[in-house]
Amino acid sequence: MIALKNVSKWYEDFQALHDCSVAVEKGEVVIFCGPSGSGKSTLIKLINGLEDFQKGDILFKGKSIRDRDVRLPEWRRRIGMVFQHFELFPHLSVLGNLTIAQQKVLKRDAAEAEHKAMALLDRVGLRAHAGKYPSQLSGGQQQRVAIARSLSMDPEVMLFDEPTSALDPEMISEVLAVMVELAQEGMTMLCVTHEMGFARQVADRVVFMDAGTIVETAGAEAFFSAPQSDRARDFLGRLLL
């Protein structure tokens, strides 16, 4: 479904990714972890073209992002993305956040967009908050709205970049619950997270990154119980302290 082939990326003359290759099949849940600054966010952003890259290729359903007839807005519409800091639109109500792109990008009419939005809010347990503004919600609620907003575009893949790391501990589980449900429904997910419980529960594979390289790829259970590389062992050791 998604494949990175020998991708290298530089910011000016700093190389953020070295020759990274990953393939994610339809319905798979792949967790990306690694120390801060290892290039996880960069890799996730490349997949929907929020950053460009200099070497290698990225494929979505066999089509290269570099193909001449690829339109990036349509490419991104099919790939949902959830950010660490939610990035809800503060000038729009919760309902507005969920309908604006449906109406402007997918050209759905207001009633249809609203119907879809309310169904998704129901699903993340926030129907009663449709009329509020993002600033009136807790962090956990905002992130659930952000997930619902992303789903409103009917994405075929979802990218998550540390969706719970800006949350107070007591709000993490409500967001993870939504993500677990999504994974169990068969959504293809690429998720940067250090939530080990979540990873063990839903991950098909774990990709461990360090200093811009993919150091190790393994099944979730194998990775957590017996990491192969020293760097991964080190990292897990520090995470558990």
Partner 1 sequence: MFALEWDTILAARSIIGAGIAVTLQVTLVAIVGGIAGGTVLAMLAVSGSRPLQLFSKYYVALFRAVPLVMLLLWFFLIVPQILRAVFGLSPSVDIRLVSAMVAFVLLESAFFAEIIRAGIIGLSKGQFHAAAALGMTRYQSMRYIILPQAFRAMLPIMMTQCIVIFQDTSLVYVISLGDFFRNTVSIGERDGTLVPMLLLAGAVYWAICSGLSGLVRFLQNRTAS
Minimum distance, C-beta of residue 42 to Mg ion, in the bound complex (Å): 8
User: Is residue 11 a contact residue for ligand ADP (CB under 6 A)?
Assistant: yes
Q: How far is CA 125 from CA 1, 183, 199, in A?
A: 30, 17, 23
Contact between 208 and 34 (Cβ < 8 Å) = yes
Written as six digits, the tokens of 236 are 């897990």
* HSE of 208, CA atoms in CB hemisphere, 13 A: 21
Contact string 39-68 vs ligand ADP (x = CB under 6 A): xxxx--------------------------
Minimum distance, C-beta of residue 114 to ligand ADP, in the bound complex (Å): 35
User: Is residue 41 a contact residue for Mg ion (CB under 5 A)?
Assistant: yes
User: Is residue 48 a contact residue for partner 1 (CB under 8 A)?
Assistant: yes
Tell me the window of 53-61, 86-94, 108-116, 132-140 that interacts with partner 1 (CB under 8 A): 86-94
Written as six digits, the tokens of 159 are 């990218």
* Out of 80, 134, 140, 212, the residue judged to bind partner 1 by CB under 8 A: 80
User: Is residue 37 a contact residue for ligand ADP (CB under 6 A)?
Assistant: yes
Tell me the window of 9-17, 87-95, 113-121, 219-227 that interacts with ligand ADP (CB under 6 A): 9-17
Total number of residues binding Mg ion (CB under 5 A)? 1
Residue placing its CB nearer to Mg ion in the complex, 41 or 188: 41
User: Is residue 117 a contact residue for partner 1 (CB under 8 A)?
Assistant: no
d(CA 139, CA 100): 21
Angle at 125 (CA atoms; ends 173, 182), nearest 5 degrees:
60
Instruction: Residue 13: name its binding partner from Mg ion, ligand ADP, partner 1, none (Cβ under 5 to 8 Å by kind).
Output: none
Residue placing its CB nearer to ligand ADP in the complex, 41 or 152: 41
Contact between 40 and 161 (Cβ < 8 Å) = yes
The arrangement of strands across the sheet holding 213-219 comes to 79-82, 157-161, 188-192, 29-33, 205-210, 213-219
* Out of 7, 22, 33, 38, the residue judged to bind ligand ADP by CB under 6 A: 38
Written as six digits, the tokens of 85 are 């800091």
d(CA 26, CA 156): 9
Residues in touch with ligand ADP (CB under 6 A): 11, 14, 16, 36-42
